Amino acid sequence: MSGKCSTYLKCVLCMVLVQVIWQSSWHIYQAPNQRIKTRQTKTHLLILSSWRSGSSFVGQLFNQNPDVFYLIEPAWHVWNRLPQETPELLHLPVRDLIRSIFLCDMSAFKPYMSTSKYIGNLFLWHESRALCSSLVCPNSTLKDFINRTECGKKCGTVPFKKLEDACRNYSHVVVKAVRILNLEVLYPLLKDPSLNLKIIHLVRDPRAILSSRESFGYLNSDDVIVSKAQRSTSNISVVMEEICKAQVQIYKLASLNSQPFLKNRYIMVRYEDLVRSPVDHTTELYDYIGLTVTTKFKSWTYNVSHGLIPNDKDLMPFSEDSVKVAQQWREKLHFSKVKQVQKLCKQEMEVFGYQLIESEREQKNMSLDLLLPKPDKFEWIT
C-alpha cells in the first residue's frame, strides 16, 4: 500500500517537474516583446518569512492598498498536495507557482487543488482585498478595509478564472510565503526579465516564534515536512533549528555575498523594529516598492498596531497592541524552553541582534530591552 502510494507520489512529482521544465523552456522561447511588455509595468513583492513571525500582519499592510493584488500563502497548496516530500524538493514547484502568480497565470494552481472552480477554493482567499473588491465580486460591499465574513459569504462562488483578470488590473502583485527556506532557489526569479521582484525578508525573535507556536494549533503537517530536512519525524527542536538556520542563510547570502541581481531587491526587517514604529517602517517599505502612503493609511496602520480598531473576528483580528504582543513570550514561554531555543538558534540570535538571557529573572524583567541594534549591514539598498 505504502509502496503504491509512494510510486503514485513520484509520478505526480515527475509530472510537476516536467511541467516546470517545460514551462521554463517555453518562456525562454517566447517572443521577447511579450516579456518587454510586462517588464516594469508591474512590481512583484515577495514577503519571505517563517511561521508565526508576523508575516500576516505585514501582508495586511500591503493588502489594504488599492493598488495591490495580494495572495497569502499560495505555497500552502503545494505543501498540502505533496505532504510526503522534503522542503528542499518542494522549493521548485513553490517557486514556479509564485512566478506564475506574479505573471497572473493562475492555471499553475490547478495541479495542487482538488477543485479550482471558484475563488473560494483558494486557501485563505478572503484575506485578499482584491478578491473581495467589487471589480471581482459584484455582490461585494467592500469599502476601505475588508470584512472577511462578509466577503466569505458573498464572493466565494466567483469563478476562479476571474483571478487572472483581477490580477492584471493591479500595479503591484504581493505574495507572502513562509515555506521558502532558502534564497538561492529564488535567484532565477530575481534574474527573470519578465519580473520586477522585490523581497522583504521578515525575521522575528525565535523565542517569540516558539511561544506563538504553542498557542497556535495548525502547524502539524508543516512540521512533518520541515523535520524531513533532517530525516526526522515531526520534532519541534528540528523545526526551530531549520527555521533559524534558513533565516541566517537567506540574510547572509543577500547581504554579505551580494549578487548584483539582488541590488535594490532585498530588504531585511525585524518584526520587533516594525512594531515599535509601524508607520515609519511601513512608509519605508512602501517607498521600497514604489507605493505611497496616504494620511488615512498611516492612521489605519497606527490604529491596527495599537489595538485601536475593534478586534472583531471578522475584521482585523490582528489589531492589537503589537509592541506588547512582540514581548508576550517573556511572560508565556517556560524558561527551560527559552534556554533550549537559544541553544538551537544561537547563531540566528547573534546575527539579527536578539539578546540571549541567562535567567528567568532577566526574562521577566521588562525594563531589560532584549532587542540589540540592527546588524550593520541590514539591507541591500544603495
Ligand X SMILES: *[C@@H]1O[C@H](CO)[C@@H](O)[C@H](O)[C@H]1NC(C)=O
Cβ closest to ligand X, residue 78 vs residue 158: 158
User: Long-range contacts made by residues 89-95, C-beta under 8 angstroms, separation at least 24?
Assistant: 89/13, 90/179, 90/225, 91/180, 91/181, 91/182, 91/185, 92/16, 92/17, 92/20, 92/185, 93/16, 93/17, 93/20, 94/177, 94/179, 94/180, 95/180, 95/185, 95/186, 95/188, 95/189
* Binder of ligand X out of 106, 158, 180, 181 (CB under 6 A): 158
Give me the least distance between CB of 132 and ligand X, in Å please: 11
Tell me which of 80, 84, 171, 237 binds ligand X, using CB under 6 A.
237
Q: Which of 361, 372, 377, 381 binds ligand X (CB under 6 A)?
A: 361
Please report, as residue ranges, which positions from 160 to 179 form the binding site for ligand X (by CB under 6 A): 162, 165-166, 169
CB of 144 to ligand X, least distance (A): 7
* CB of residue 181 to ligand X, shortest distance in Å: 17
Measuring CA to CA, how many Å separate 33 from each of 37, 39, 100, 101? 6, 10, 18, 20
Q: Which of 107, 294, 299, 347 lies at the binding interface for ligand X (CB under 6 A)?
A: 299
Stretch that binds ligand X, among 2-10, 20-28, 144-152, 319-327 (CB under 6 A): 144-152
Q: Is 121 in the site for ligand X (CB under 6 A)?
A: no
Determine, following the binding rule CB under 6 A, whether residue 135 of this chain makes contact with ligand X: yes
The three-state DSSP-derived secondary structure of the chain is: CHHHHHHHHHHHHHHHHHHHHHHHHHHHCCCHHHHHHHCCCCEEEEEECCCCCCHHHHHHHHHCCCCEEEEECCHHHHHHHCCCCCHHHHHHHHHHHHHHHHCCCHHHHHHHCCCCCEHHHCCCHHHCCHHHCCCCCCCCCCCCCCCHHHHHHHHCCCECCHHHHHHHCCCEEEEEECCCCCCHHHHHHHHCCCCCEEEEEEECCHHHHHHHHHCCCCCHHHHHHHHHHHCCCCCHHHHHHHHHHHHHHHHHHHHCCCCHHHCCCEEEEEHHHHHHCHHHHHHHHHHHCCCCCCHHHHHHHHHHCECCCCCCCCCCCCCCEHHHHHHCHHHHCCHHHHHHHHHHCHHHHHHHCECCCCCHHHHHCCCCCCECCCCCCCECCC
Which region among 34-42, 212-220, 261-269, 311-319 touches ligand X (by CB under 6 A)?
Answer: 311-319
312 sits near ligand X (criterion: CB under 6 A): yes
Query: Which lies closer to ligand X via its Cβ, residue 314 or residue 350?
Result: 314
Question: Which parts of 315-334 interact with ligand X (CB under 6 A)?
Answer: 315
Among residues 149, 277, 347, 355, which is the contact residue for ligand X, using CB under 6 A? Answer: 149
342 near ligand X, judged by CB under 6 A: no
Binding positions for ligand X, 239-298, rule CB under 6 A = 296
Tell whether residue 300 is a contact of ligand X (CB under 6 A): yes
State yes or no: residue 235 binds ligand X (CB under 6 A). yes
Number of residues that bind ligand X (CB under 6 A): 28
The verdict on 238 binding ligand X (CB under 6 A) reads yes
Of the candidate spans 47-55, 94-102, 234-242, 278-286, the one that interacts with ligand X by CB under 6 A turns out to be 234-242
* Nearest-CB residue for ligand X: 135
* Binder among 15, 368, 372, 381 for ligand X (CB under 6 A): 368
Q: Which is closer to ligand X, CB of 51 or CB of 378?
A: 51
* 147 near ligand X (CB under 6 A): yes
**Min separation Cβ 321 and ligand X, Å:** 14
* Residues at the site binding ligand X, with contacts judged by CB under 6 A: 135-136, 139, 147, 149-150, 154, 157-158, 162, 165-166, 169, 235, 237-238, 296, 299-300, 303, 308, 312, 314-315, 361, 365, 367-368
